[in-house]
Structure 1
Amino acid sequence: MKKVMLGDEAVARGAYEYGVTFAAAYPGTPSTEILENIAQYKEIYSEWAPNEKVAVEAAIGASIAGARSLAAMKHVGLNVAADPLFTFAYTGVNGGCVIVTADDPGMHSSQNEQDNRYYAKFAKIPMLEPSDSQECKDFVGIALDISEKYDTPVLLRLTTRVAHGKGVVELGERKPVEMKPYKKDIPKYVMVPANAQKRHVVVEERLKVLEELTEKIEINRIEWGGRDIGIITSGISYLYVKEVFGDEVSVLKLGMTYPLPSKLIRKFAESVKKLYVVEELEPYIEEHVRALGIEVIGKELIPRIGELNPGIIRKAIKKEELPHVSVEVKVPGRPPMLCAGCPHRGVFYVLRKKRVPVLGDIGCYTLGAAPPLEAIDTCICMGASISGSHGFQKAIEHSGRKQKIFSVIGDSTFFHSGITGLIDIVYNKGNAVPIILDNRITAMTGHQHNPGTGKTLMGEDAPEIDIAKLSEAIGVKRVRVVNPFKLKEIEDAVDEAMNTDDTMVIIAKGPCALIPPKPQGECKIDQEKCKKCGMCLRIGCPAISKKDGIFSIDPDQCTGCTVCQQVCPFDAIECVSHRGEVK
């Protein structure tokens, strides 16, 4: 049986077919669909973890127990998980374990463009790179076999085009894999210095054996064509090379990219007249080839910023461009903005009005930096808003200035890495003010559950973590829960925060506009009362527009949240429920 699948779906299918028992992840594009699809296979226990570090640690525990396990994350998530990963390389596995990193060349949904292939080299663990959906499935099985045979975790590296590209996948049945018996082994699993020193020797010896494997493994192969040009490539770049050149050139396709096959590379280089490396982002393969003393052309022609495509490769190596039809279409600008009815909008409107520094975080609410709201000053990484606001506050206080600093963070991101920042504020007697935007879901990555929603990835009921009680338990003196659709509540809470030296947390609790049930009302502008002042446009709602001097609200977008009604100084906006009641 064959099926068209996303690369992420195929990874999930591979986990199913090759006997994975435990899988965990924190959602992040382009990796999210891996666990969403694994959850469909009830033979696998699967869960959303609070963050990537916890996901990997849970997968490590499952592996040591004897089960095949998998943890998945986007590229920046591996930064969070690096601590356990590096030590896991020392302990090795019991049941096979695959760590999936989905990199994002081009930064379609990410704050940086790091190349996670270097993590494999850094951690000294084998790495596989599939090029299409079929390989995504197959490589999970190969990775698990390598993991168990060589006693090591394996990094499976995807990129956005592999993760979200579709291809035909040949499906198989699930292969039952017995859990390996667990045996207490303190020298192997307890990484105190005396044991770790011995395990480091094991890691280096294992690398030598893996170097032999990479020379003969079938997923590293030469495809002979014309010998004037030879191209070494991997991942999605391999498909681009084949599209551009077909059999005109010879290709060394690398499916296992750490360790790299030095002997195979030498053999290939000696068999072609001119050698190129085609790879996205960093010169990872190219650096290795040059270190072997081989003359090669790489990043002097191939960009190291952004995604590649067949056109870029054709122009770089063949010095030609395909003719194409150019059609001029005038498309109006469509900047990203918060959805109509978003519960974050009122918070940002108030913060903007108060003209206070606001440190932001990763999520839908990052759009609070966009005009016309422009309320956010920074966006660094998950959880950095709270920790950064504390440092900001302490720095200006130490210099003798006095100003209240705020931060904004979503509910899922707070559970991910915001709690420790809040502890930092309490412990070090800070008074920066976190505003936790609890929209009851992990919204930006596609409405995944989190510890505050009351549901698990597998759809089971779960305890709902109460952020207010958690904040109080940490030691926060003032906790205010406000309705984010009521501007006066928000403003009163912000004013209170600005006038107290106590530690304080504001929780703006209101559901994402895209969570069912459907909106229960809509707002309309009374054109006779409207003074054309434009105040309604300052909230940045996509349902409100101005055309030919007339302000109007699109009923198909409006959710009846009433924020526009509250900012109108002339009572020109009326909100009516779908039952005909004036709100």
Structure 2
Amino acid sequence: MMRELLSGNEAIARGAWEAGVRLASGYPGTPSTEIMETAAGYKADLYCEWAPNEKVALETAVGAALAGVRSMVTMKHVGLNVAADPLMTLSYIGVKGGLVLCVADDPGMHSSQTEQDTRHYARLAKIPILEPANADEARRFMIRAFELSEQFGCPVILRSTTSVSHSRSLVEVGERRPTPTADFVRNPSQYVPIPIWGRVLRQAVETRLAEQAAAASADRELNVIDRRGEALGILSSGLTALHCRELFPEASLLKLGWAWPFPDELIREFAAGVKRLIVIEEADPFLEEHVKSLGIACDGKNLVPRTGELTPVRLLAVKAALEGTDLQPPAPVAAAADLPGRPPILCAGCPHRGIFYALTKFDVIVTGDIGCYSLGVFPPLNRTDVILCMGGGFSMAQGFDKAGEKRPVVGIVGDSTFFHSGVTGLLNIVYNRGKATLIVVDNSTTAMTGHQDHPGTGRTLMGEATPAASIEKIAAACGVKRITVVNPYELDRVTEVLKTELAAPEVSLIISRAPCLLKIRRKIGPLYSIDQAKCRNCKACLKLGCPALESAGGNKPAISPQSCTGCGMCRQLCRFGAIQPES
């Protein structure tokens, strides 16, 4: 076999291609996004699409799997919440062609709102879950996941984490396997889970679980015992297990790649060969609680942190606690001590800044959403009060309004989020006669995850032109009568529209439309500079929070020519004419 240097996400896509996958669908979300982007590169053999949300992605893949071909779905951990509805029923009806859900968890919340542990969903849905520890395992485990899916006739979850998805290692690569053609065979008693048939399917799930547990205990490719000393045994999985192997060289290690159903006989066998057992796992005590339920004594979350990523430094603290010694942490990198802080902030010239700045002029409640625009919560804008989940920006606004909140309520979502789950919230507000002011900040891309297309961009993941869905027409079809499109760089106009719509006695929709500058990769106007002689140092321009504006101590503001994008918003705020375009 040849070897290539791949990230975990690239290796997952490669494994899917080698396994003979015919269809892949997903919704972008860090740390999973690059799986689909890589898979789209195999377009001669593999059809790929961005779905409006994770539920639709899974349902699409189910159609392909029932037709008899292998399919893949990708999402981040919180995306599985959206896809949970079809997943639970799919566990009953099963699949014909293999179906694998690639779910990327985010211990440490590097780019997520929770540390949700996907292993619980595998237990809830009663389906297998595999956990690769590096890119090479990611490729191999993907191929094995499809084999298990077809062997047991059910979906399989492949659980990655941020570190596995984004780290790179050498990967042995192979050739693509032969793929069957779609040929659906009708079988209503299997695929239509009405109660009379569903009760039978439910019993079959339990039989399947018992078979899978036995198979997991016998599997020494996915579940590996590395016998060393008898004094200490470590039960772990994923990248954490590799860290444990390095930091506890004297200990025996059971590394679980097939984490659920639990391989009870294998766990008992391993525990019997060591004097002390510790379960080292990220997130929840998923394995630990089960080990204790088997009557096996073990350490776990009494020594291992329950939150955050288990980096080698944190595992050194676990080792010190286990040995009863004091930890001497590694000295910090000297060069990092003098680096300035980099608080999260909207990019220079970001069109979202105009909307949030205009909102500072009003005493309103702002229900925000998941995307770049969540950065509107930070100073000096301070214009987001609550964030829940994708689409919640609209739905929560209705709740505030109907609860009798005295202040006007503004709900904000992005364009990709609007198509993901904002439409239903909008429809709910209209249907139930709400009067919130709703804003779609439309920058014509799924920006925060790396500029992926969506139903409103007019282009598919495969690079094909397609009809672009209209936010205005969808809103009108939902029954919204007050629809206004604004250019967010025109601050006076935005403020005027907000003033009018906040006073409206019915629901209104404002579409703030301007492209993401990181996507179009060009300046949108002339560079600006500040005439220091005219500047009164009132610092009004700094209220924009634009990173191109610089001011240290009592010095007058200045504009960085390297950062300025020519948006001109700062010029609109200067009452003294000090900010002018450069010739």
Q: What TM-score, normalized by structure 1, do the two folds share? A: 0.96
In structure 2, the partner of 1:20 is 21
Which segment drifts farther, 189-198 or 74-83? 189-198
Structure 2 equivalent of residue 404 of structure 1:
408
Are 2:340 and 1:332 aligned?
A: yes
Question: 3-state SS of the aligned residue for 1:176?
Answer: coil
Q: CA deviation at 1:331?
A: 2.3
Q: CA deviation at 1:302?
A: 0.5
2:193 to 191, 194, 201: 191
Matched, 1:388 2:368: no
Deviations, residues 34-79 of structure 1 (Å, cap 9, x unaligned): 0010000011100111111111111111111111000011000000
**Residue 103 (structure 2) pairs with residue 101 (structure 1):** yes
Q: Deviations over 1:390-437 (max 9, x none)?
A: 11011116xxx4x32101110001111100000001000111011000
Displacement of 1:156: 0.6
1:428 maps to amino acid: N
CA distance in 2, matches of 1:362, 1:162: 24
Aligned residue in 2 for 1:570: 576
Report what 1:494 is aligned to: 498
Query: Which of 426, 438, 447 is residue 451 of structure 2 equivalent to?
Result: 447
| Contact 1:452 1:465 survives alignment (8 Å) | yes
The answer as to 2:324 corresponding to 1:347 is: no
CA deviation digits over 1:458-510, x for unaligned, max 9? 11111111101111111001100000110122112111112211221000000
Partner of 1:456: 460
* The one of 59, 62, 65 aligned to 1:63: 65
Counterpart of 1:540, as a letter, is G
Task: Give 3-state SS (helix, strand or coil) of 1:406's partner.
Answer: strand
Is 2:469 the partner of 1:468?
no
CA contact (8 A) 1:95 1:180 kept: no
Q: Which amino acid aligns with 1:522?
A: L
Deviations 1:437-469 (A, max 9, x none): 000110001111111111111111111111011
Q: For 1:63-96, what per-residue CA distance to the aligned partner results, in whole angstroms no more than 9, with x for missing partners? A: 1111100001100000010000000000100110
User: Are 1:244 and 2:247 matched, yes or no?
Assistant: yes
Distance 1:505 1:180 in 2: 44
1:532-568 residue CA offsets vs partner (Å, 9 max, x unmatched): 0000000000000113512100011111101111111
CA distance in 2, matches of 1:461, 1:438: 19
The aligned residue for residue 94 of structure 2 is 92
Match of 1:272 in 2: 274
Question: After superposition, where does 1:252-291 map in structure 2 within 5 Å?
Answer: 252-291=254-293
Q: Contact (CA 8 Å) 2:66, 2:96: kept in 1 or not? A: yes
Which residue pairs with 2:41 in the alignment? Answer: 40
Q: Please name the residue that 2:382 is paired with.
A: 374
Runs of 4 or more consecutive aligned structure 1 residues displaced over 6 Å after TM superposition: none
SS of structure 1 residue aligned to 2:557: strand
Answer yes or no: is the 8 Å Cα contact 2:535–2:556 preserved in 1. no
Q: Distance in 1 between matches of 2:171 and 2:240?
A: 20
Secondary structure of the 1:521 match is coil
CA contact (8 A) 2:368 2:384 kept: yes
- Supply the distance in 2 between the matched residues of 1:429 and 1:46 (Cα, whole angstroms): 39
Alpha-carbon distance in 1 for matches of 2:331, 2:273: 39
Q: Is the 8 A contact 1:406 1:434 kept in 2?
A: yes
Given the alignment, which residue of 212, 221, 237 partners 2:224? 221
Counterpart in the other structure of 2:164: 162
1:10 partner letter: A
Question: What is the CA distance between 1:320 and its match in structure 2?
Answer: 5.8
In 2, Cα distance between equivalents of 1:172 and 1:444: 33
**Any idea what SS the aligned residue of 1:99 has?**
strand
Classify the secondary structure of the residue corresponding to 1:353. Answer: coil
Distance of 2:326 and 2:245 partners within structure 1: 16
Aligned amino acid, residue 208 of structure 1: A
Structure 2 SS opposite 1:300: coil
Cα distance in 1, alignment partners of residues 212 and 332 from structure 2: 50
CA–CA distance in 2 between the matches of 1:466 and 1:488?
26
1:185 positional shift? 1.0
Q: Which amino acid aligns with 2:53?
A: N
After TM superposition, the structure 1 stretch with the greater mean CA deviation from structure 2, 129-138 or 308-317, is 308-317
Q: TM-score, normalised by structure 2?
A: 0.96
Kept after mapping to 1: 8 A contact 2:436/2:506: no
Alignment match of 2:145 (pick from 143, 146, 156): 143
TM-aligned CA deviation for residue 333 of structure 1: 2.1
Query: Secondary structure of 2:103's partner?
Result: strand
Please give the per-residue CA displacement for 1:280-335, whole angstroms capped at 9, x wherever unaligned.
01110001100000000111000001011222223322446467444552222221
Paired residues of 2:132 and 2:138 also in contact (CA < 8 A):
yes
Q: How do residues 161-180 of structure 1 correspond to structure 2 at under 5 angstroms?
A: 161-179=163-181
Q: Amino acid of the residue matched to residue 10 of structure 2?
A: E
Is the CA contact 1:131–1:236 (under 8 Å) kept in the aligned structure 2?
yes
Q: Counterparts in 2 of 1:516-531, with a 5 A limit?
A: 516-519=520-523, 520-531=525-536
Equivalent residue in structure 2 for 1:202, among 184, 201, 204: 204
Separation of aligned partners in 1, 2:367 and 2:308: 27
Aligned to 1:533: 538
Asked if structure 1 preserves the Cα contact closer than 8 Å seen for 2:377 and 2:385, the reply is: yes
The reply to whether residue 433 of structure 1 matches residue 437 of structure 2 is yes
Give the secondary-structure state (helix, strand or coil) at the position aligned to 1:396.
coil
Name whichever of 158-167 and 533-542 sits farther off: 158-167
Q: Which residue of 1 aligns with 2:235?
A: 232
- Secondary structure (helix, strand or coil) at the match of 1:505 reads strand
Output the amino acid matched with 1:391: G
Give the residue type in structure 2 aligned to 1:171. V
Kept in 2, the 8 Å contact 1:95–1:179? The answer is no
Deviation of 1:516 after TM superposition, in Å, equals 2.1
- The match for 2:561 among 551, 555, 561 is 555
C-alpha RMSD of the superposition: 1.3
Show structure 1 runs of 5+ residues with no match: none
Code of the aligned partner of 1:449:
D
Q: Equivalents in 1 of 2:460, 2:159: separation in Å?
A: 26
What SS class does the counterpart of residue 98 from structure 1 fall into? strand
Count of residues paired in the alignment: 572
Q: Please state if 1:302 is matched with 2:304.
A: yes
